[in-house]
Amino acid sequence: MAGLADVKLADGAKGKIIGKKLDVSNATEVDKAIEEIHSAHGKIDCLVNNAGITADATLAKMTEEAFDRVIKVNLKGVFLMSKAVAAKMTASGSGSIVNTSSIVGVQGNFGQTNYAAAKAGVIGMTSTWAKELGRKGVRVNAVAPGYTWTDMLATVPEKVIKMLEEKTPMQRLGQPEEIAKAYLFLASDDSSYITGQVIGVDGGLKL
């Protein structure tokens, strides 16, 4: 639903914005959506894989269902979307795929076995696809945000937020606009010779 809200927010922007609701872990829905988009526009220049969910629990308490649910959206969804779009991009000889990893995919995080596994997997797929698709004119990179003010933090206690800020060298959490600029850079021709990279936008948290 957040994507549909974004369409409304961007209604006054230049160009044509189309919202599509789909399950990124469903191959049939993904292929149908990509075909419709490609048919409508004739070309796909950029794919940003940004769908994601959480279902946190410690290893001892995490259910198989919770593990599978996060992997389906956060990892399988990236695979299915990228596979469908890469076919269109390689046919046209150009394109940029920007995946969403996380600082959690690099360092792990207490209570996030499923999320950490998915985001680490995204980094592995990014490197692999950069090697496979580079010769066909398609670049593949990833953004690894640190802790950022999004809906995912809505239920996090204030004392935990304070702890996260103190752990970050810049002593604050990121703003969505700051993360978005990294995606824009990797999607644009300004990064035309960059592929296979994971750009950390984390206020120095990885240090």
- 154 falls within a domain: yes
Positions annotated as catalytic residues are 115
pLDDT digits (tens, 9 = 90+) for 132-153: 999 999 999 999 999 999 887 8
pTM: 0.91
- The pLDDT-based confidence of 1 (bands split at 50, 70, 90) is very low
Supply the CATH number for residue 108's domain: 3.40.50.720
- 207 falls within a domain: no
Tokens of 158: 């204030």
- 37 falls within a domain: no
Q: Dihedral of the CA atoms 171, 177, 179, 184 (nearest 10)?
A: -150
- 9 falls within a domain: no
Q: Where are the beta strands (DSSP E) in the chain?
A: 46-49, 95-100, 138-145, 198-201
Q: How many domains does the chain have?
A: 1
- The parent domain of residue 165 ranges over 44-201
- 95 falls within a domain: yes
- 49 falls within a domain: yes
The per-residue pLDDT for 8 is: 53
Task: Round to whole Å and give the CA distance between 2 and 83.
Answer: 24
The per-residue pLDDT for 102 is: 98
- 196 falls within a domain: yes
Q: Residue 14: is its pLDDT beyond 90?
A: no
- 165 falls within a domain: yes
